[in-house]
Chains A and B, each alone.
Chain A
Amino acid sequence: GAGVSQSPSNKVTEKGKDVELRCDPISGHTALYWYRQSLGQGLEFLIYFQGNSAPDKSGLPSDRFSAERTGGSVSTLTIQRTQQEDSAVYLCASSFGTFTEQYFGPGTRLTVT
């Protein structure tokens, strides 16, 4: 079956612009996760959605970051007024349940110039 998909695969943007990153989870997976991986660094947990429940936003790095999930499926991570330190690979994962195996998408490489 189809895995987690993310778009775009690469995004170059100018400092101060807004960007939207999209994640399409595996069909039937109710949980969806966003992570950030800076160059040479580990994965930083950003936010988690379970079904249609409101997410815990405390992991988002700043109020410039927001995320939503429509219809319990596709999710969008939005970064407003991008800064150079936002440059990273943004990874999305999905799982069947909250504490079960998480499968990652290919990621979106964001470069802020």
Chain B
Amino acid sequence: QKEVEQNSGPLSVPEGAIASLNCTYSDRGSQSFFWYRQYSGKSPELIMFIYSNGDKEDGRFTAQLNKASQYVSLLIRDSQPSDSATYLCAASGLYTGGFKTIFGAGTRLFVKA
């Protein structure tokens, strides 16, 4: 069973629309959560970091964390073609065996001009 799950997509949205990306995690020991954007051939770029229940907004990005439902989401408002990339969800915590950061497989997003 995967510990951090994402819909692999691809998710296709028109330019200017809201893109909604979802992620679930299985271990309640997860303490902090990340969204990264990764362009093909590049390293992951941090988009959002969240550790408290609720919403966190930064520019066009909003992360939502619901620990009761073990659910993290990322909303991208006014999507741009340059947002087309793979979005990685990750969770950090003290798990069996010690500290670890677990990444989901990623959701591919296409923003159509």
Contact = CB atoms under 8 A, between A and B. Distances in A.
A109 B6 CA distance: 26
Q: How large is the interface on A (under 10, 10 to 19, 20 to 34, 35 or more residues)?
A: 20 to 34
Contacts of A104: 36, 43-46
A90 B73 CA distance: 27
B101 A33 contact: yes
B49 to A, nearest CB: 5
Interface string A32-44: 0101000001111
A98 interface: yes
Interface of A: 33, 35, 41-45, 48, 50, 56, 58-59, 89, 91, 98-107
Given A42-B106, A104-B45, A105-B43, 9 more contacts: A42-B105, A44-B103, A50-B99, A99-B51, A102-B46, A103-B46, A104-B36, A106-B42, A106-B43
